[in-house]
Structure 1
Amino acid sequence: MKQKKRAILIGRSMAGKTTLCQVLYHEELKYHKTQTVQLINDSMIDTPGEYLERARMRGALNVTAVDADLIIFVQDAAEGGTMFPPGYASNFAKPCIGIITKSDKGNRKMLDNAADFLKQAGAEHVFVTSSVLGTGFDELRSWLEDFGGQGGML
């Protein structure tokens, strides 16, 4: 039996990392602030937004990502900017995808900007989701299951 692959979720506070996990695992949506690194269903590593937001804490992301097979950058569609520097994915030397969350709160230009931010940071694929509308998750689930192989990541 193959061990499940793991992904690490990296993004700002309130970007929707925890909600993303809840939707992917068909759990009830309940907001709670992620205070520490959490392993969800032995496949998703949920990280506090402060690890990305505070430069002195970014090293914690690099250390935590050692246990991941996939890097996932999470970008809120309505956020005017980004915390992901160009080429940021190269810090991890692992496959990286981007997920735009809260697409229901963004217009076409905002979604295009968010996708550009993620691509510039090094995301190989970008998925657009809305947990409110339930959109974008079929494609994302399918991709994650293919990435994980035999039994998938989910």
Structure 2
Amino acid sequence: MKTLMLIGKTSCGKTTLTQALNQEELQYKKTQTVEVIDGIIDTPGEYIENRSYYRALIVSSVESDVIALIQDCSEEANIFPPSFASIFAKPVIGIITKTDLCCDENKIKAAEEVLISSGVERIFKVSAFGKIGLENLKDYLID
């Protein structure tokens, strides 16, 4: 399985997604530093929220095979600069999280637009709690 690095705003669901992909019990845990858990690199939200930490993301990405930019579909703010994915020398995918909480299809479309603008190659729509889209993401990581 490919090593996956998750980048996204605080509370966008990176750690919960990590737990779901690793078939662990889903429980809230604030990520304080970069953590590597069974092939997934979970980064603190502060690293994308503060431009001065972009270098930490670039350095951490060296250990990954794929970078994932995470966008919570219930969040309207765009944290990713245009073409942000181009700073990485790896494939960059987008993951829309919390799709079970989005009753409005326009919010999911807005999340897609954020990720497309950031330069991702492919987008996955998932819900850790609803177990939606996780198999498609796992299949991608295995190929």
Q: 2:133 matched to which residue of 1?
A: 136
Unaligned runs of 5+ in 1: 147-154
Structure 2 CA distance, aligned partners of 1:139 and 1:5?
14
* Residues 2-32 of structure 1, C-alpha deviations (whole Å, 9 max, x = no match): xx53221000000100100111111000110
TM-score (normalised: structure 2): 0.95
Q: How does 1:17-96 map to 2 (within 5 A)?
A: 17-41=14-38, 43-96=39-92
Whether 2:92 is the aligned partner of 1:99: answer no
Q: Give the Å deviation of 1:140.
A: 1.1
Q: Pairwise CA RMSD of aligned residues? A: 1.0
Q: Which amino acid aligns with 1:53?
A: E
Query: Is the partner of 2:112 in helix, strand or coil?
Result: helix
**Structure 2 stretches of 5 or more lacking a match?**
none
How far did 1:59 drift? 1.3
SS of the residue aligned with 2:69?
strand
**Residue 77 of structure 1: how far off its partner (Å):** 0.5
Structure 1 residue 47 displacement after superposition: 0.3
Amino acid of the residue matched to residue 84 of structure 1? F
The alignment-based identity, stated in percent, is: 45
Which runs of 4 or more aligned residues in structure 1 lie more than 3 Å from their structure 2 counterparts after TM superposition?
A: none
Please give the secondary structure, in 1, of the residue aligned with 2:6: strand
Shift of 1:132: 2.2
| Count of residues paired in the alignment | 142
Q: Secondary structure at the match of 1:74?
A: strand
In structure 1, C-alpha distance between the alignment counterparts of 2:13 and 2:88, rounded to whole Å = 22
Q: For 1:91-130, what aligned pairs fall within 5 Å after superposition?
A: 91-106=87-102, 107-130=104-127
One-letter amino acid matched to 1:143: Y
* Residue pair 2:48, 2:79 contacting (<8 A) in 1 also: yes
Residue in structure 2 matched with residue 149 of structure 1 by the alignment: none
